[in-house]
């Protein structure tokens, strides 16, 4: 049994309470629709692009208003520690305000009451995105009303359990960030050595065209009426090359064309000649067929 399981068993012998947000949040801050005309103050005015990770620290573009503008326009100031949730367009974006600030109408501010730890609510909201999308209005831009947020049901264990859960999730979030940074570094390192090792500057190698070392080949043309949305053999077009097929051909047609016309061998590098030009994917030998002219490969004797 994990530490969290032990805490739940100790503090919630009858199970964890599930409550609507209105019972555990002390306020729901809905910003004014009007946009200030003058930005010459120290109170940040924030937009969706100002979120950094899961923090909203201020306006990255330096937008801010004065206390006078706040009073005149009756702007809603979000207190430090408030969980910010996107309520229109970019549903699924959440952050914690690290200072008092103002947001545009893209957000709603969820102010935690004494029974709710803000970082617990932050992590929890990411699991509620699908529910919010289902609750959103249908139209050109999705919108979730304050009432829908107030009605959102969440599990509310005791604060000790919430903090233990956050400790675990924050640890994994940090590890994920470190892995992403490491991956980005390795990708940059690979790109550097790829360019360095394959440049052959200084005349250390002969330069030839692909046509000098082989013949460009492609599969026989498949017509639309020969495909179906389901079937035996996946047919990859330029739009699905390297992804999931959305068309199939019959086993009979596949075997006939593979036997009588050009077809790649296992290990041949398939190249996109349209769309994302130059995309290269080794053929793994699995039954599949590829769109003519848009997906090609080089036939050569490897000498």
Question: Tens of pLDDT along 274-302?
Answer: 887 888 999 999 999 999 989 999 987 76
pLDDT digits (tens, 9 = 90+) for 24-39: 999 999 998 889 999 9
pTM: 0.66
Which of 29-43, 159-173, 198-212, 266-280 has the least mean pLDDT? 198-212
Q: At what angle do helices 159-197 and 3-11 cross, to 10 degrees?
A: 160
Res 196: pLDDT:
82
**Stretch 143-152: mean pLDDT:** 95
**Stretch 238-242: mean pLDDT:** 91
C-beta separation of 35 from 102 below 8 A? no
Domains by residue range for the chain, with CATH: 17-156 (3.90.220.20), 210-299 (3.90.220.20)
DSSP string, the chain: --HHHHHHHHH-TT--EEEEGGGTEEEEE---SPPPS---SSEEEE-GGGEETTEE-S-TT--EE-HHHHHHHTPPPBPTTPEEEE-BSSTT-EEEESS-BEE-TTEEEEEE-TT--HHHHHHHHHTTHHHHHHHSBPSSS-B--HHHHHH-EEEE--HHHHHHHHHHHHHHHHHHHHHHHHHHHHHHHHHHHHHHHT--TTT-S----HHHH-EEEEPPP--GGG-BSS-SEEEE-TTTTTS--S-EE-HHHHHHHHHHS--PPTT-EEEE-SSSTT-EEE--SSS-EE-TTTEEEEE----
More confidently predicted of 194 and 69: 69
**Stretch 237-250: mean pLDDT:** 93
pLDDT digits (tens, 9 = 90+) for 70-119: 999 999 999 999 999 999 878 999 999 999 999 999 999 999 999 999 99
């Amino acid at each position: 049994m994990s530490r969290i399981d032990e805490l739940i068993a100790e503090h919630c012998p009858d199970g964890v309470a599930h409550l609507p947000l209105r019972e555990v949040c002390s306020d729901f801050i809905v910003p004014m629709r009007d946009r200030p005309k003058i930005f010459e103050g120290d109170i940040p005015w924030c937009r969706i692009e100002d979120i950094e990770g899961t923090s909203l620290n201020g306006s990255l573009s330096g937008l801010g208003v004065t206390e006078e503008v706040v009073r005149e326009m009756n702007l809603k100031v979000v207190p430090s520690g408030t969980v910010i949730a996107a309520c229109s367009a970019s549903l699924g974006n959440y952050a914690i305000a690290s200072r008092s600030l103002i947001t545009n109408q893209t957000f709603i501010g969820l102010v935690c009451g004494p029974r709710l730890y803000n970082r617990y609510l932050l992590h929890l909201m990411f699991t509620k995105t699908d529910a919010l999308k289902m609750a959103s209005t249908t139209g050109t831009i999705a919108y979730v009303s304050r009432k829908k947020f107030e009605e959102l049901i969440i599990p509310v264990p005791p604060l000790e359990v919430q903090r233990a859960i956050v400790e675990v999730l924050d640890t994994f979030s940090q590890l994920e960030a470190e892995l992403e940074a490491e991956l980005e570094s390795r990708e940059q390192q690979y790109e550097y050595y790829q360019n360095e090792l394959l440049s052959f500057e200084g005349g250390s190698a002969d330069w030839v065209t692909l046509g000098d070392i082989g013949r460009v080949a492609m599969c026989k043309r498949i017509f639309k009426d020969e495909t179906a949305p389901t079937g035996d053999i996946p047919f990859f077009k330029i739009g699905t090359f390297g992804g999931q097929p959305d068309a199939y051909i019959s086993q009979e047609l596949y075997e006939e064309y593979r036997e009588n016309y050009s077809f790649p061998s296992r290990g041949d590098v398939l190249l996109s000649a349209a769309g994302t030009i130059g995309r290269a994917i080794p053929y793994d030998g699995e039954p599949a067929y590829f769109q003519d002219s848009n997906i090609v490969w080089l036939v050569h004797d490897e000498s």
